[in-house]
């Protein structure tokens, strides 16, 4: 199958990782985690930007939880369930982080914002070192494991577990996180319910 470029979403600095969950597209740049969504109008909107320390530049992203809601063909857009999820992040310094992502019941719509540094429409949020709230989108660092890899965590993947293997769930999903580093090591992260 051939593919053609339909749209370009601009960031400052290289895009180290991109991932998608529910109606969100999540991007990692050297100093930020950026969340995008596709609007019913067909344009893309940046809904949140969380700045991170460059030494812990996110290199790999894995959204663990599928967000509630669903795509409504009648309106051509995503209906949000007002839920959230967990985002696993592999960093430049070898750290593996767990972020909590909370979504409002209604994400902003109709505001096509491609500029960096601006958040979603009607953003009346606040930021601290490890927590950002924009327009009801809350992204918070809740746990980290430093030194997981001896070098940058280049990549990560979610391996869904065969249902016959057990009843353990992680935020509703069975499976395990696998991270790959520049140290040539693959790590499998065990999860507890």
Residues that bind other proteins (CB under 8 A): 1-20, 23, 25, 27-29, 36, 38, 44, 71, 78, 96, 98, 143, 145, 148, 151, 154-166, 168, 175-193
Q: Residue 45: CA atoms inside 13 Å, Cβ hemisphere, count?
A: 21
Choice between 45 and 133, CB closer to other proteins = 45
Residue 189: Cβ within 10 Å count: 17
Q: How far is the CB of 8 from other proteins (least distance, A)?
A: 5
Q: How far is the CB of 188 from other proteins (least distance, A)?
A: 5
Widest Cα–Cα separation across the chain: 49
Q: How far is the CB of 17 from other proteins (least distance, A)?
A: 5
CB neighbours of 158 closer than 8 A, spacing ≥ 6?
A: 62, 64, 88, 173, 175, 176, 177, 178
Choice between 3 and 126, CB closer to other proteins = 3
Report residue 141 as tokens.
């660092």
Distance, in Å, from the CA atom of 176 to the CA atom of 29, rounded to the nearest integer, reads: 24
Q: How far is the CB of 118 from other proteins (least distance, A)?
A: 16
Q: Map 93-120 to HEC letters.
A: CCCEEEEEEECCCCCCCCCCCCCCCCCC
Choice between 19 and 125, CB closer to other proteins = 19
Choice between 7 and 126, CB closer to other proteins = 7
Q: How far is the CB of 124 from other proteins (least distance, A)?
A: 27
Q: How far is the CB of 158 from other proteins (least distance, A)?
A: 6
CB-based contact 59:16 (threshold 8 Å): yes
Choice between 25 and 91, CB closer to other proteins = 25
Distance, in Å, from the CA atom of 52 to the CA atom of 130, rounded to the nearest integer, reads: 8
Distance, in Å, from the CA atom of 50 to the CA atom of 31, rounded to the nearest integer, reads: 8
Choice between 110 and 185, CB closer to other proteins = 185
């Amino acid at each position: 199958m051939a593919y053609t470029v339909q749209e370009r979403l601009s960031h400052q600095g290289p895009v180290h990782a991109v991932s998608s969950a529910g109606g969100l597209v999540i991007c990692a740049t050297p100093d930020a985690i950026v969340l995008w969504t596709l609007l019913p109008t067909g344009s893309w909107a940046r809904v949140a930007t969380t700045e991170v320390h460059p030494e812990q530049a996110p290199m790999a992203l894995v959204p663990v939880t599928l967000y509630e809601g669903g795509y409504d063909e009648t309106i051509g857009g995503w209906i949000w369930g007002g839920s959230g999820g967990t985002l696993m992040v592999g960093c430049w310094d070898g750290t593996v982080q767990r972020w909590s992502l909370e979504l409002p019941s209604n994400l902003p719509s109709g505001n096509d914002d491609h500029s960096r540094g601006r958040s979603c429409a009607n953003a009346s949020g606040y930021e601290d070192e490890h927590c950002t709230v924009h327009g009801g989108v809350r992204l918070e660092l809740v746990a980290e494991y430093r030194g997981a890899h001896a070098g940058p965590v280049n990549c990560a993947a979610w391996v869904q577990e065969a249902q016959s293997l057990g009843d353990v769930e992680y935020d509703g999903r069975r499976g395990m996180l696998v991270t790959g580093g520049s140290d040539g090591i693959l790590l499998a992260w065990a999860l507890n319910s």
